[in-house]
Structure 1
Amino acid sequence: MSALKRGHVVLEDYELPAVITRIVPSRGRLTVWARYPWQASREPEWRLGRFNRADVLPKVVERGY
């Protein structure tokens, strides 16, 4: 998890890429905020979730996302 950075793309669900907009550490956990690549820039980001630092999120590495 610690290798994720702002701008990385992860899979929120099967074939749903989400761009990480910010990562906020809190009490040994990380709150990850994201938006879909097709969202307009004026649309608000949303909380992808709170994760332990050891959790693994599938990172998109194919198809140019």
Structure 2
Amino acid sequence: MNELDFRPKTKGVPARLIRVGQVVMESYEHPCKVVEINDNPVSKYRIISARYVWQRDSEPPWRLGTFHPEALLERAI
């Protein structure tokens, strides 16, 4: 099994630039992989769903949050 990096180097990125497949930090030592993004055409907010990097693909994703397009998320680099 590959060793997981729970504290990857990160960079603050606006939510509008986050894409499916990228790793973002939910909180300290909790990296998660973005699996779905839904943009609300009325409010312009993004609903991002993810799985922790240690979860299996068969496990259901959970809602990371609803973000303003300019809200900064810590993305792994």
Common fold: TM-score over 0.5: yes
- Long gaps (5+) in structure 2: 1-14
TM-score normalised by structure 2 residue count: 0.75
Residue 33 of structure 1: aligned partner: 49
TM-score normalised by structure 1 residue count: 0.88
Q: How many residues align?
A: 61
Give the alignment's Cα RMSD to 1 decimal: 0.8
- Long gaps (5+) in structure 1: none
- Give the number of the structure with larger relative contact order, counting CA–CA contacts within 8 Å between residues 6 or more apart: 2
1:59 match: secondary structure: strand
Tell me which amino acid in the other structure corresponds to 2:37: I
Residue 8 of structure 1: aligned partner: 22
